[in-house]
Amino acid sequence: MNSFTTAIKYFVTITAELTVLFLGISTIVALILMYIPQEKIKSWMAGKGILGNFIGAFIGSLTPFCACSTIPMTIGFLEAGIKFGAVISFVISSPLLNPIILTMLVALMGWKTAVIYFVVVFGAAIIFGVILEKAGAFELVKRVRIEGGMDEEEVPAAFRDKLKMSFLKAWTDFRGVLIYLLIGVGIGAAIYGYLPQEFVLRFAGPDNPFAIPVAALIGIPLYIRAETAIPIGLALMHKGMSIGAVIALIIGGAGMAVPEMSMLASIFKTKLVAAFVGTVFIVAVLGGYIFNMIL
C-alpha cells in the first residue's frame, strides 16, 4: 500500500509539473516564432561554412516539432537550396533539443544536466552535419517533393491574437504528446514505487561499464519521445541507474522515433537513414560516458 501511494504521488506531481511547463514554454516559443518569418530562417541557414550548420542546429533546438512538421520543413529547406549539412544539423537537433525538453531536464534533473545535454547534442548536430556533407551524403537524397510543406500560417497583427493563437498551438501540440507523456510518467511512477533498487544497481548502475551502450541500443528501436523518456529516466536514477545510461536511453529513444524514420525513408535512401541510426547511437553512447565523467 505504501508503494502504491508513493507511485500515485509521483504520477500526480510529475504530470502536473510537466503540463504547466509544456503549455507555458510551448506558448512562448510559438509566440516568438511568429515574429521570425520562415524566409528569414532559410536565409540564416544559407550561411557559408560551419555557420549554416550552427544555425540549422539552433533552429532545430527552438522548434518543438513532431516528425509530421520536421520532415516537410526538411524538404522545404532542401528545395530552397539550403546547404545539405545545415539541413542535417536541423534534422538531428530537432527531436532531441527543444525548450520543453531542456526545461524538463532543469526542473527534474537540475540545470547542470540540462546544460551538458544541450552542449553534447548541439555539438553533435553540428559535427555530424559537417561530416555527412563532406562524405557526399547529399547524393543519397531522393528527388521528391511535398507540395505546401513550407507554407506559413496567416499570422494575426494584434499581440493579443498572436498570444491566443500561440496558446492554441501549444494546446494542440500538448494533446498530441499527452498520451506519450502519461505513459512515460506512468512507467516512471511504477518504477519509482515498485522496482527494487538492487536490481537497477546490478544491471544499470555506475559500476557496469556496458550499461550505457546497452541503454542506447534499447532506446533506438523503442519509440519514446524525450518527453516520455525523461520521467522514466528520473525514476530510474532514483533507483540507482547511472546518469550516463539514462541520457543514452533518452537520446537513443527520442532521436530515432519510428514515425520520423519512416518519413525520412521517403526522402532519404536507405544508406542515409542507416547513417542517421549510427549517428544517434554514437551520440547516445558518447553523451552517456561524458555525463558519467562529469557528473
What are the DSSP calls for 53-96, one per residue?
Answer: HHHHHHHHHH----HHHHHHHHHHHHHTT--HHHHHHHHHHHHH
Calpha distance 184→253 (Å, rounded):
12
Give the DSSP letter of residue 141. B
**Of 25-29, 34-38, 80-84, which one has max mean pLDDT?**
80-84
Evaluate whether 184 touches 224 at the Cβ level (below 8 Å): yes
> What are the grid coordinates assigned to 270, written together?
536507405
Distance CA 132, CA 137 (A): 5
Which domain range does residue 75 map to? 2-294
Amino acid 290: pLDDT: 92
Indicate the residue type of 12: V
Task: Please answer whether residues 113 and 243 qualify as being in contact, where contact means their C-beta atoms are separated by less than 8 angstroms.
Answer: yes
Cell of 12: 500526480
pLDDT at residue 18, rounded to an integer: 75
Which pLDDT score is estimated for 147?
Answer: 44
Question: CA 273, CA 278: separation in Å to the nearest integer?
Answer: 9
User: To 5 degrees, how large is the angle CA 217–CA 219–CA 220?
Assistant: 70
Mean pLDDT of the chain: 79
HSE, side-chain direction, 13 A CA sphere, residue 26: 26
| Number of structural domains found in the chain | 1
Closest CA to 88 of 140, 40, 38: 140
d(CA 294, CA 116): 9
Residue with the bigger pLDDT between 120 and 80: it is 120
